[in-house]
Chain A
Amino acid sequence: MNNNKEQVVITVLGANKPGILAGITRTIADSNVNVEDVSQKIMQDLFALMMMTDFSAANCSFEEFQNRMQAMADQLRVKVFIQHEDVFRYQHRL
């Protein structure tokens, strides 16, 4: 693994409708955060998206990125969670 990476997990949950993925990825791209892996499911009418991203080359602070993403999520009326991958690694991997 590239040790310089700063991996951040982005999770989006909400009612399914057109444009969620587009809106979210646009904000990610605008922040120069690199998407490395994507997993998306529609469970009944619930839109669930998870992305593994590399934050190391971002053009803003982590907090500013969270704010930008939150603003987009509010616009799309979905919930977004931006968390460092360590929290998942510690809980789910030995």
Chain B
Amino acid sequence: MLFSLEEVIETISAVGVETFDIRTISCGINIMSCADADVHKCAAKVYDKVIKVARDLVPTARTLEKKYGIPIVNKRISVTPVSMLANAFTEPTAVPIAIALDNAAKELGIDYIAGFGALIQKGFTRGDQILLNSIPDALCSTDRVCSSVNIGSSQSGINMDGVYRMAEIVKEAAERSRDKNGLACAKLVVFCNAVEDNPFIAGSFLGPGEAEAILNVGISGPGVVRAALERAHDLSFGELSELIKKVSFKITRTGELVGREASRMMGIPFGIIDLSLAPTPAKGDSISDILELMGLERTGCHGTTAALAMLNDAVKKGGMMAATYAGGLSGAFIPVTEDDGMCRAIEAGALNIQKLEAMTCVCSVGLDMVAIPGDTPVDVIAGIIADEAAIGMINHKTTACRLIPVPGMKAGDVVDFGGLLGKGPIMEVGRHSPSVFVRRGGRIPAPVHSMKN
């Protein structure tokens, strides 16, 4: 027999018991060909192009799910940062593009579509300004559109004017979606060192250096790693790392298979696999659970950063061998409301925002799905974004903020966003003001190690 019964049962139970899935197949679509000075004409072209290119995405994913018996949870689309098209608009709004994207997503049965964003790490173009001004309106008048803005990079430094503007936008988007607990902010990411091929929502977009259309695959599987660790006791660090690498290898191989096959069926090139451990609110599908199984009493206690660093690294090492092209964010995500274990750690008083920030130095992204008090001032939000961007800039890694200042709520209250976005406690933020610092204006210069040429 080609495979042993044990091997087959291992694969089946990874899905059935340990909640392994392909988290997303994301189709990146270049929409530069839709350029038009008339935003409404441009929106119509964007709608048509998205429908034309991604028509087969959902049926293809369904066929592959049946063929391989592995759930493909999300089918998603990302587009070129819309600010690039907005440069040409006579009328200073990009909201019609967001509505066109939303309609296309609904028509295709896609739950989120991303790329309503801008790259402003070094400054603003007219199109960037139009786009930024449109974000709160766009997120509140659509259901499925996600936005991301890159405000810094290791190569360019941090655009602090951009940081401040984004803090204002976060606040405005929260207020505008007050009836949904600030839900618009769950669809808005502020990046430093954004990657151009990330398949995960909400920060996905098709970078300017990418091809006409591309398929990227995001895998998941915290539950599989957790199950492996549950069966293993008394391992040294080397053995623990080895175990995580093996699990990561196997789940990434499945992503490789699905990506290749989807690419062949749709006739769209296969871009990258993002080999991330992405938790969901489902019980056991938690990064925090893995950290605690590694020997922490509670996530957030001293030692958590080291445990996460090791986990993140082992996931990358195992996955790299399994994928032809690894890319995206690749590592361990540590969103708060999307991870039941993280929420429990906060409620137990073990995890606070300062420790979470330390953890973002070694995780694959940043302060993700962090609900904060609704009365948090814009200056403080700008300070949080600037700190997170500085970590990314100095360490040559992607960092991000997806902060939700929940209107009317204070630290300790519990907010429920529903579905994959989960629910969790509002986290306390620092009370002292960074206001003079964050309002200085201009750009934090690029760090010395940016000068490699």
Residues of A whose CB lies within 8 Å of any CB of B are 7, 9, 11, 13, 37, 39, 41, 48, 50, 52, 62-63, 66, 81-92
Alpha-carbon distance between A86 and B441 when the two chains are bound, in angstroms: 56
Alpha-carbon separation in the docked complex, A90 to B257 (Å):
7
Please tell me if the beta carbons of A84 and B67 are within 8 angstroms of each other in the complex: yes
Contact A39 B5 (CB under 8 A): yes
Of B4, B5, B69, the residue contacting A87 (CB under 8 A) is B69
A90 vs B70: C-alpha distance in the bound complex, in angstroms? 13
Interface: B254 (CB within 8 A): yes
Stretch at the interface among B6-14, B89-97, B358-366: B6-14
Which residues from B are CB-within-8-Å of A86? 68, 257, 261
A interface secondary structure, majority: strand
A7 to B343, CA, bound (A): 44
Q: How large is the interface on B (under 10, 10 to 19, 20 to 34, 35 or more residues)?
A: 20 to 34
Residue of B nearest to A38 (CB): B1
Does B66 lie at the interface of the complex (its beta carbon under 8 Å from any beta carbon of A)? yes
A63 CA to B64 CA, complexed, in Å = 11
Q: Is the CB of B70 within 8 A of A87?
A: yes
Contact (Cβ within 8 A) B70 A50: no
Q: How many angstroms from the CA of A91 to the CA of B7 in the assembled complex?
A: 9
Measured CB to CB, the closest approach of chain A to B215, in angstroms, equals 17
A82 touches B69 (CB 8 A): yes
Distance between Cα atoms of A89 and B254 in the complex (Å): 9
The answer to whether B436 has its CB under 8 Å from any CB of chain A is: no
Nearest A residue to B15, CB-CB: A81
- Asked, given contacts A37-B2, A39-B5, whether A11 binds B12 with beta carbons under 8 Å apart, the answer is yes
* Shortest distance from the beta carbon of A64 to any chain B beta carbon, whole Å: 11
B5 near A48 with CB under 8 A, answer yes
> How would you classify the secondary structure of chain B's contact residues: helix, strand, loop or mixed?
helix
Cβ of A50 and Cβ of B2 under 8 Å apart? Answer: no
A62-B67, A66-B66 known; A85-B2 Cβ under 8 A = yes
- Give the CA-CA distance A1 to B402 in the complex, in Å: 51
Assuming the contacts A62-B67, A63-B66, A81-B12, asked whether A9 and B3 have C-beta atoms less than 8 A apart, the reply is yes
In the bound complex, residues from chain A placing their C-beta under 8 Å from that of B8 are 9, 11, 50, 88
Known: A62-B67, A81-B69, A82-B69. A87 touches B1 (CB 8 A): no
Q: Measured between alpha carbons, how far is A52 from B4 in the docked complex, in Å?
A: 11
Given contacts A82-B69, A85-B2, A85-B3, 18 further A-B pairs with CB under 8 A are: A7-B2, A9-B8, A11-B8, A13-B9, A13-B12, A39-B5, A48-B5, A50-B1, A50-B5, A83-B11, A86-B261, A87-B68, A87-B69, A89-B2, A91-B7, A91-B250, A92-B7, A92-B10
Find the residue from B3, B256, B257, B261 having the highest chain A CB count within 10 A. B3
Alpha-carbon separation in the docked complex, A66 to B65 (Å)? 12
Q: How far is the CA of A37 from the CA of B9 in the complex (A)?
A: 16
Nearest residue (CB) in B for A88 is: B3
Given contact pairs A63-B66, A81-B69, A88 touches B11 in the complex (Cβ within 8 A): yes
For B317, the chain A residues whose CB sits under 8 A away are none
Which A residues touch B12, using CB under 8 A?
Answer: 11, 13, 81
CB proximity of A76 to chain B, nearest CB, Å: 17
